[in-house]
Structure 1
Amino acid sequence: MIATTRLTFFLAATSDAAAERVLNRVRRELTELNLTVTARDKNIFEIQQPIHSWEHHVYGLLQLCGHLGRQWVLTGDIGHLFDAFSSHSTVVGVEAVHLTCDNPQAYKH
């Protein structure tokens, strides 16, 4: 099963050039984690990974959160959706990060 994680970065940049520098930092951070990332929009990225266990994947998402920021707020039903938000990013120039991932196993019938 494939899980798609969507990361949205809210930037503090006031110009296009500054925003591009911040997004380059974001790309470097994600590349250092050996993640295959696809840009979906200027500040939105997706990671697609095969998963065998939702619980194990959630642990990996928590590790990713710990790398990208601190003081995360988790909302929703964790059995169906991992939804996390932090306004304390570790990436300079990023004001906030929103990370979501649907549990593909929750929708099997």
Structure 2
Amino acid sequence: MGRTRENGIKQAIVGADILREEGNIDERVIRIIERHTGAGIPADEAEKLGLGSRDLIPETLEEKIVAHADNLFSGTIRIPVQNVVEMYRKKGLDRAADRIMVLHSYLSGVCGVNVDNIT
């Protein structure tokens, strides 16, 4: 949604704002969009990125699933979580990489199988 106006880190916030302007979208859906970047962005990092000083960490199971699914795909190509983490680390985004691994472990536990093995 937000990519229609913004391709950078702000695309999730822009997408959420677009839906809020619509006025008839369930706030739970909007929060899924707002919190799906990486494995979420804590308030201190969000502020540094110009996203405001709000916590953008996924909280509900639905938010976590969408955030992690977004991490594991580039277009239609499935990417193993280790590759995603390496890419984040190469960019110096170690905290974000750590959050992705924590989210991956959590969702793998919920599923009872390593999420990387789900096709």
Give the TM-score of the pair, scaled to structure 2.
0.28
Of Structure 1 and Structure 2, the greater strand share is in 1
- Give TM-score scaled by structure 1 length: 0.29
Which structure's relative contact order is higher, taking Cα pairs within 8 Å and 6+ residues apart? Answer: 1
